[in-house]
Structure 1
């Protein structure tokens, strides 16, 4: 790839800023000074230094984000902060996007990547990737509700959801905290499922997507790169 493209994609500034870096003799490849921004470089085979520090390049990046409420699951939005806005400049890459979406008021696990193939495998219905949510519901959840979810909730209009696993974690006074596992992702699905049994979700947080489990050490609005183990576990979805 071109040297200026490499430096741009690894966060060394705009195209013009990168060109200035090269002109100021700050870039070396395998120890040799390079003054041409269009120089072809292979970052996997050659050592690139900028101001004495090695450039590390990844074609694809994978970030686990603990999405806070109030942020939209989009690449850009004219009126609201997006999940991509939460990624620092040094970690930005062309083509970053959220895999799937969480409602604006929903918190929790969101995968951010620039690997479209992985995103497709995680979202294609036939893969039936399990998503788990922790929710607080404004009324006590009953064993009858658990059975209804297991059989497949039917929305107004006759649309039926796939069987879902609903587990009651605790009930205090007039509300319940539950854990719900679903294998599909209809629009506002979790909220609509509870409305179908006469209850309202007052808090919703995604805690897992397939083999990826939210790192509870991540504060809301924070993110980290996936570990090698997490990435290896996700490879099963390509089979």
Structure 2
């Protein structure tokens, strides 16, 4: 009569050794020609995430040859801004695009670049982690990092998509004035710790002490504001 008990104990022992059953791994899906559209509250197409190819496992997709394209509010066929990078990870649950490599944001007015980023598409907030640059025909700005608000038209905002909405650059910040604009601004370089670019007014505000360097004049200013476009107006 002890045999069933021995078999039961043996079964429990083997189950304990084997451990609990592991959950099945998420299926990995590979795809090419990936396109993910985004719409505003009225159903209008605002931007699109595209990639040459990628792999998906769960809510996470590893994408290659990535672009986020922002469209004109007047014509959805016209691309007015782009974010590009060689490789990025798209998290569908969080709505974030992240990457470790080089990335660029191109607008009609500026070219922004940097290494490493995380981008929340729902809020249009882009964090650039290292080696940030912002270049236009008048100045080249470099810094350790930056936070960028990419413009997406929302109700109550009278904004155009020709440029980013706002960019705050910080850490070892250097402004190099392009040769054609030196005469207008009166200096060749400026050094500070922080600068805030406003895309609507096309101004760069330096809220902390800033040192300017030029051929004839060197100065330290408590705050400074540059209005881009002044060089073109003075010609």
TM-score (norm 1): 0.27
More helix by share: 1
Quick check: which one's strand share is greater? 2
Tell which has more relative contact order, 1 or 2 (C-alpha 8 A, sep 6+).
1
Q: TM-score, normalised by structure 2?
A: 0.28
